[in-house]
Structure 1
Amino acid sequence: MNNSFPFSDPAMVARYAEDTPRKVPGYGDLHRMAMLLLFERLGSTADILVLGAGGGLELKALAEAQADWRFTGVDPSPEMLDLARTVLGPLESRVALKRGYIDAAPTDPYDAALCLLTLHFVGVEERLHILRALHARLKPGAPLVVAHHSYPSGDDARSWLQRSVVFAANDPPDFSAAAASVEFMIERLHVLSSDEDEALLREAGFSDVSLFYAGFSFRGWVATA
């Protein structure tokens, strides 16, 4: 798998920390909800695997919220890992950052795993491989939190992606202008329906798959290994 584009583009990396909260509805709240879903099962001490950790925004949010959590962050983009180090600052002392894909992650079992805004970059077979590899790296009963582009089953993916594009754009809303961006996203991303996403989580070995977040074309689930 080699899907680090566009995360090697210096201009994109420079804008990431500013652009991402603007593009994802309730981005800060997504981090807080993920933290709470993990905390209710883990308590104040935990060792957490974060896949797609480049940029460091979710690492920073969780590390600030829980002073005794430790993290392993894995990402294929060296530029995004550099950004994560900048974003984390002194919090990096509790984070081990590793360059690579899921197979680069240590196999020692973790208390939990987190994968935000990542899985829509890979197709079904690779996504299933990633989910199975995450499952293999989790203790029995450990929680997994994921969030990425997805859409309600039976609906049109383009309509939901268009709403997300308009949400991220400057006012006034212009749905016509968003159409070209939507086609680019359809071409480059692998956006599944919510039923397909949940089925993959179960096929990878996870149970108790529950939707906890939905914001236009973004959805998030918590599941149990």
Structure 2
Amino acid sequence: MSNPICATIAGLPGKHAPDSATQSQRQNGGMISYPEPFNDLALVASYLAETPCRVPGMADMHRMAEILLAERAPDDGHFLIVGAGGGLELRAFAGSRANWRFTGVDPSSAMLDLARQVTAPYSERIQLLEGTVDAAPSGPFDGVACLLTLHFLDRDERLYTLAEIRRRMRTGAALVVAHHIAASPDPEKWLARSVIFAGKSGQHPDNALPAARAMAERLSLMSPDEEESLLLEAGFSDPAIFYAGLSFRGWVATAC
């Protein structure tokens, strides 16, 4: 998470933003080598206060994700959170579901420390591990959430991550994902709207375009059809949109 694109360029949150030194990511021995972790302490410190203001309807998105996970899980389910740094979704889920247990993975030790602070009241039900999806136990988990993360992975890396998530899930369990997408043939227009949403009211759209262009160059943006095709290829069925906020979309899919 060093040099996080969405935070430094556009004021938007991100959990695995690549910098120029780590833009090229490799696959070695079946494991993806992800970008260096987000270790900018100033950005970590501001994450809790600023992120909910930068993702439209973030609290409601968490609530919807929880409802969708619960539909296909037992009352005492065990859930995997991929990109758990910061702890906001963990706090939302654990605060609403007293019998749920969680395992979270994230490559940033600083963001995991923040997650531990945020989720301290629920610590007996939460295990946090430093690393990518490869660090997660084999499960099988009763559901998985991966929020504000996948837009930093190219297609091959994303497919690998989704397939590894599926391998750790119980058949029939739900996966929820949410991230930036190419919301139209002109994705920069929607990214610019997200930049404006995250910034000061009254900003002229033209002033947001440079940040939007930089984001479009750095992020791996896929169309809705491409997003759903990838979920199917990774071993999921019935992908459906449950969340839309400017350039963000969220899907739920079933492990098959």
Deviates most, 11-20 or 55-64? 11-20
Give the secondary structure class of the aligned counterpart of 2:204. coil
Q: Which of 65, 68, 73 matches 2:104?
A: 73
Give the secondary structure class of the aligned counterpart of 2:72. helix
Unaligned runs of 5+ in 1: none
Q: Give percent identity, aligned residues only.
A: 52
Q: Which of 126, 149, 152 matches 1:121?
A: 152
2:34 is aligned with what amino acid? N
1:132-157: CA deviation from partner (whole Å, max 9, x where unpaired): 000000011111000000133x5211
- Separation in 1, partners of 2:130, 2:116: 13
1:2-21: CA deviation from partner (whole Å, max 9, x where unpaired): 3245x210111111111111
- Separation in 2, partners of 1:138, 1:13: 30
Q: 1:96 corresponds to which residue?
A: 127
- Separation in 2, partners of 1:4, 1:22: 25
Q: CA-atom RMSD, angstroms? A: 1.1
Q: 1:2 corresponds to which residue?
A: 34
Q: Which of 7, 22, 27 matches 2:58?
A: 27
Q: How does 1:10-159 map to 2 (within 5 A)?
A: 10-152=41-183, 154-159=184-189
CA contact (8 A) 1:151 1:219 kept: no
- Separation in 2, partners of 1:168, 1:58: 19
* TM-score, scaled to structure 2: 0.84
1:60 is aligned with what amino acid? R
The yes-or-no answer on 1:213 pairing with 2:253 is no
CA drift at 1:222: 0.4
2:66 is aligned with what amino acid? M
1:14 is aligned with what amino acid? A
Give the secondary structure class of the aligned counterpart of 2:112. helix
- Separation in 2, partners of 1:67, 1:147: 24
1:162-183: CA deviation from partner (whole Å, max 9, x where unpaired): 1111111111132122122112
CA drift at 1:108: 2.1
CA drift at 1:128: 0.1
- Separation in 2, partners of 1:182, 1:138: 35
- Separation in 2, partners of 1:31, 1:93: 21
- Structure 1 runs, 4 residues or longer, greater than 2 Å off: 1-5
**Structure 1 pair 183/20, CA: closer, same or farther in 2 (3 Å)?**
same
2:248 is aligned with what amino acid? F
Q: Which of 182, 198, 201 matches 1:168?
A: 198
CA contact (8 A) 2:72 2:172 kept: no
1:169-215: CA deviation from partner (whole Å, max 9, x where unpaired): 11113212212211221232111111111110000010011111111
Q: Which of 152, 163, 186 matches 2:216?
A: 186
Unaligned runs of 5+ in 2: 1-32
Give the secondary structure class of the aligned counterpart of 1:140. strand
The count of residues paired between Structure 1 and Structure 2 equals 223
- Separation in 1, partners of 2:74, 2:246: 31
